[in-house]
Structure 1
Amino acid sequence: MAQWVEAGGWGLLAGSALLLGAVLGYTVRVPQWVVASVMAFGAGVLMSAVSFELLGEAYDQAGLAPAAAGTIGGALAYTAGNVWLARRGARHRKRSGHRRRQPSESQQAGSGLALALGALLDGVPESTVIGVSLLEGGAVSTVTVAAVFISNVPEGLSSSAGMRRAGRGPGYVFGVWGAIAAAGTVAAVLGNTVVGQLPTAVVAAVTAVAAGAILAMIADTMIPEAFEDTHLAIGLITVSGFLLSFTLSHT
């Protein structure tokens, strides 16, 4: 099997968790504390994967300077995109509507498109690094795939529940998450084929950019949603996710 095909398959697998979460969030009345707890757990898993898989790999490949520069660049790029989208109605795109609601289209025109673009902004860096991970030794990083998959379920669940409460129909909700899963597949292929042709230092910097964007996303969207309903338990739950990912990366 061609490596780029394998990269696309892994990207599709990780992205399919968004659809799984969307189905649960749109059709099942999941208690808010469960959504928040799973979100906290997913945040811990992602933070560990970023630390030990992405940034560790970038540092080993090119040293501290490219890793640090890429991380800051990724965080800046994500934050700039997030600020632009927040002004158009996507500020609470991962909120399920318990305390903070996503706006409906009648409340803020264009917010539906902003929500879709926000989901794309959140998902593409994760999928790109899945494709990049195949470049080292020809085997995908199972820790990265597992981390993205686990974190995508609560993302899709919480956001789709919020979309339903904002009055958006199933065609829109599942269309958005299906498109994001497809975009993740393409991002994984491009990460493997395009990034794979670049010098090692550039590959390391791109990996660090994705890491910075993911960390900014966790702090800006996942942790706030988790904190609203887990409060004092969020630390323990997040650490549990972090420890699981750490264990996977060292076994």
Structure 2
Amino acid sequence: MGALQAAMWGGIAAFSLVVGAWLAFRRSPVPAERVGMVMGFGAGALLAAIAYELVPTGFNQDLLLFTSFGLGAFVFFWVDHLATGRRSMGAASADRSIVVGSLLDGIPESIVLGAGVAAGGEVAVAFLVAVFVSNLPEALGATSFMRQAGHTRAQAYRVWWIIVAVSALSAALGYLAYDMVPGSDGGYVEAFAAGAVLTMLADSMIPEAYQLGGKATGLLAVLGFAVAGALSGLE
């Protein structure tokens, strides 16, 4: 039952990706400036998740944790490179880059959620909300770019539902892995996720948010950071 509960929470956290896709495919397209602003808010929330939830305390003094952090960054960079070719930062590459980021940070985030359920018997609400909120603008932005590139509604939804399913499975695996590795606190997984998410933010999400939303995205990023940080402090 515990693994199913973890899978449920992992799916709920990732479901906002589908909500973001629905918003992007409404009859009236979301204005590019608004997409950029929402992406800026989400980027700030993700930065807070990295700072308060993912980076383990003293990771820079633990070689294995530091290695996991760097590995997450390199894995995202190379998978993103293979997926986009890094030809240009337009709709044709930005959508794939953010989708890759959603998958690469969704898997370890879900594993962390599952491990948290195994450790305490309940989900970390602040982290769950932060992941849910940050996923929304990722999907909204990426799906808007998919729409510009000519992808159909069915193609876009298929991508996000696959990531939701993978996230649910990852949460269940996180729960089972915690039980199989006594004393594990998920620090290596969290450090890997931090490296992957930070690379995605710097390489894709923040530049696109600024390009679409302008300087106002900086203020919204700070607001997103503050909201996610406050949620983390409630735990």
Flag whether TM exceeds 0.5 (same fold): yes
Q: Is 1:9 aligned to residue 14 of structure 2?
A: no
**How has the CA–CA distance of structure 1 residues 202 and 72 changed in structure 2, closer, same or farther, with 3 Å as cutoff?**
farther
- Aligned-partner SS, 2:118: coil
3-state SS of the aligned residue for 1:136?
helix
Aligned to 2:44: 44
SS at match of 1:187: helix
1:221 aligned residue? 204
TM-score (norm 2): 0.87
Whole-angstrom CA distance in 2 between matches of 1:62 and 1:229: 35
> What is the CA-CA distance between 1:151 and the residue it aligns to?
1.3
Check the 8 A contact 1:129/1:210 in 2, yes or no. Answer: no
Matched to 1:19, the amino acid is V
> Can you give the 5+ residue segments of structure 2 that lack an aligned partner in the other structure?
none
One-letter amino acid matched to 2:82:
W
CA shift in 2, pair 1:189/1:63, >3 Å: farther
Provide, for residues 7-44 of structure 1, a one-character-per-residue CA deviation record: whole Å limited to 9, x for no partner: 11111111110111101102241111211111111111
Q: What is the alpha-carbon distance in structure 2 between the residues aligned to residue 31 and residue 21 of structure 1?
A: 14
Does structure 1 retain, via aligned residues, the 8 Å contact 2:99–2:142?
no
- Partner SS, residue 207 of structure 1: helix
Q: TM-score, structure 1 length as denominator?
A: 0.82
Change in 2 beyond 3 A, CA 1:84/1:174: same
Aligned length: 232
One-letter identity of the residue aligned with 2:9: W
Q: Distance in 2 between matches of 1:88 and 1:222?
A: 14
* CA-atom RMSD in angstroms: 2.7
Distance 2:205 2:70 in 1: 19
Q: Distance in 1 between matches of 2:185 and 2:119?
A: 14
Q: Deviation at 1:62?
A: 11
Q: How many angstroms apart in 2 are the aligned matches of 1:164 and 1:250?
A: 37
- 1:72 corresponds, among 58, 70, 73, to 70
Letter in 1 for 2:68: G
Residue number among 190, 202, 208 corresponding to 1:207 in the alignment:
190
Conserved? CA contact 2:130–2:228, under 8 Å:
yes
Q: Do the aligned partners of 1:135 and 1:192 also contact (CA within 8 Å) in 2?
A: yes
Superposed displacement of residue 124, structure 1? 2.1
